[in-house]
Amino acid sequence: MASEQTGSDDDRVFILAALKEVHDTVRSYDTKAQIVGIGFIFTLGVLKGFGESIGDPAATGTMTTALSWFLAVGPIVLFGSVLYPSRSRLTDATNSEGGIRYAFYFSTKQDRNIDDYLSDIATCDWRRELAFELMKASKLREMKRKRFIFALLMSAVSFLAIASFQISRTM
């Protein structure tokens, strides 16, 4: 009887941890939406100012206008790619792991009801489940780090190109 109670206590701890993870993720989307919304408003101002500094599009040409949009908007899009999780892509990539019940980070793509979920919890190996989630989250962290560094690099290239263009107009 004591081992049944211990298993039940363990299940409760892990279910509460999974619930906290879901709530944290949901709240993170609120934060991301605020960041992207403010970024969009800021970007509109930057584009307006940048467009005015380039001059009349008819006089500068289509390629200059397209390049200026690429230089101004490209890095913003790259930083945006860091904000959005790629957890489903990672789940598909690590789907070859056997014995994972997806009990910690519940996927709504799977067709299971509460009874199925409780059955999976009762039969899952929590150490394996959590190790799987840790490995997946670590891969996601590395993916986001690489995207962030690439976005920083492209921002530097963009700033150099814009500065070069503006300096060349003064000569």
List the one residue out of 55, 58, 75, 62 whose CA is nearest residue 165. 55
The pLDDT of residue 97: 66
The pLDDT of residue 86: 64
DSSP 3-state of 93: helix
User: What residue ranges of the chain have pLDDT lower than 50?
Assistant: 1-5
The pLDDT of residue 6: 52
**Tokens coding 122:** 């009762």
Predicted TM-score (pTM) of the model is 0.70
The pLDDT of residue 157: 92
The pLDDT of residue 1: 43
What are the sequence ranges of the domains in the chain?
2-170
What stretches of 55-125 show up as alpha helix (H) in DSSP? 57-60, 62-83, 87-93, 114-123
- At 47-75, the pLDDT tens digits run 777 777 777 777 777 887 788 778 888 88
Close Cβ partners of 46 (under 8 Å, ≥ 6 residues apart) = 72
List the one residue out of 47, 93, 94, 98 whose CA is nearest residue 70. 47
* Residue 115 near residue 141 (C-beta atoms within 8 A): no
**Tokens coding 69:** 């949009």
C-alpha count within 13 angstroms, C-beta hemisphere, residue 107: 15
The pLDDT of residue 37: 82
**Tokens coding 55:** 């001059």
List the one residue out of 32, 33, 28, 67 whose CA is nearest residue 51. 67
